[in-house]
Amino acid sequence: MLDCIIIGKGPAGLSAGIYTSMANVKTLIIGKDSLLQKSEKIQNYFGFEEIIDGQQLLQRGIKQAIATGCEILNDMVIAIDILDNGFNIVTAENGSFNTKSILLATGNNRNTVHITNLEKFEGKGISYCTTCDGFFFKNKKVGVIGSTDYTIHEANELLSFTENITILTNGNELKSSGESNNTIKSNKIVSFEGENKLEHIVYDNGEKEQFDGIFIAQDYPTASDFIKKLGLNSKNRLLTINDQFMTNIRGIFAAGDIVNDFKQISTAVGSGANSAKNIIKYCKE
């Protein structure tokens, strides 16, 4: 049993991990690449008078977190299950872990697809949340767009509502080790079509296929997916936390771009530290 799982290895997650590990809170950080890796020139972060690039800064943070005792996994989290007894299960591509507390430090990125008419049908047949919207497609024909373990996980979740499920890899190779008995279609999708709601999708070979619903489960779940699935309170795409950096679910904390209006390395690091202070207290209670 872990004390804390931090989802995200950007500045917020790493900063929090340094504090929790130094306080002997058994911590595992699970994350993929941070947005910061794209930054070639950082000139406004305290303590670096020379220009440093995002990749270097993150590597230093990762080494520092490991030196303080953090374990770090380069993996994607595909599901979080909140158990009644106050413990939680975090499922990543390469394993599941039990933990007392979770820090969401996932940044504020959203994994979506760039397909004509996406926005037009969001909420009108196109959904990002199987847990919230699966019910509306009982015994209907649905497609799940994506090509990863997360896609298969979401398709399997939909099985309790319908068996008529097609995995739409949208021109990508299916990179999942998960099992699925669903139809798999690999054609590239060019547009969503319909009158007042989604009715069919059009592939790049001109073929049209009827669907009642489409779920986007691209790459891995991001902040907005976790917000919807777990029923976390949010406003204007920012997670709502209390003064202890805890969300409306006990034991689930958040830090970084997912809570900060001013999205910077310094504010992410600061909120990571603040959340860690409260996680330490929570785990030792």
Ligand X SMILES: Cc1cc2nc3c(=O)[nH]c(=O)nc-3n(C[C@H](O)[C@H](O)[C@H](O)COP(=O)(O)OP(=O)(O)OC[C@H]3O[C@@H](n4cnc5c(N)ncnc54)[C@H](O)[C@@H]3O)c2cc1C
3-state DSSP percent of the chain in helix, strand and coil, to 5: 30, 25, 45
Among residues 189, 40, 51, 179, the alpha carbon closest in space to that of 118 is found at 189
Q: 31 vs 213, which CB is nearer to ligand X?
A: 31
| Count of chain residues binding ligand X (CB under 6 A) | 34
* Using rule CB under 6 A, residue 61 touches ligand X: no
Per CB under 6 A, the list member of 42, 118, 190, 230 interacting with ligand X is 42
* Using rule CB under 6 A, residue 31 touches ligand X: yes
Per CB under 6 A, the list member of 6, 8, 167, 232 interacting with ligand X is 8
CA distance 135 to 157: 11
* Using rule CB under 6 A, residue 152 touches ligand X: no
* Using rule CB under 6 A, residue 47 touches ligand X: no
The two tokens of residue 91 are: 């499922």
- Beta-carbon count within 10 A of 120 CB: 17
Per CB under 6 A, the list member of 106, 148, 169, 274 interacting with ligand X is 106
Q: Which of residues 207-266 bind ligand X (CB under 6 A)?
A: 220-222, 256-257, 263-266
Write down the least CB distance from residue 182 to ligand X, Å: 22
* Using rule CB under 6 A, residue 268 touches ligand X: yes
Among residues 94, 19, 125, the alpha carbon closest in space to that of 64 is found at 19
Q: 211 vs 226, which CB is nearer to ligand X?
A: 226
Q: What is the dihedral of CA 88, 285, 242, 251, to 10 degrees?
A: 0
Per CB under 6 A, the list member of 16, 25, 30, 168 interacting with ligand X is 30
Per CB under 6 A, the list member of 3, 4, 6, 13 interacting with ligand X is 13
Sheet containing 208-210: give its strands across: 189-193, 200-203, 208-210
Q: Amino acid letter at 44?
A: N
* Using rule CB under 6 A, residue 34 touches ligand X: yes
CA distance 119 to 68: 44
- What residue ranges bind ligand X (CB under 6 A)? 7-13, 30-36, 38-39, 42, 44-45, 76-77, 105-107, 220-222, 256-257, 263-266, 268
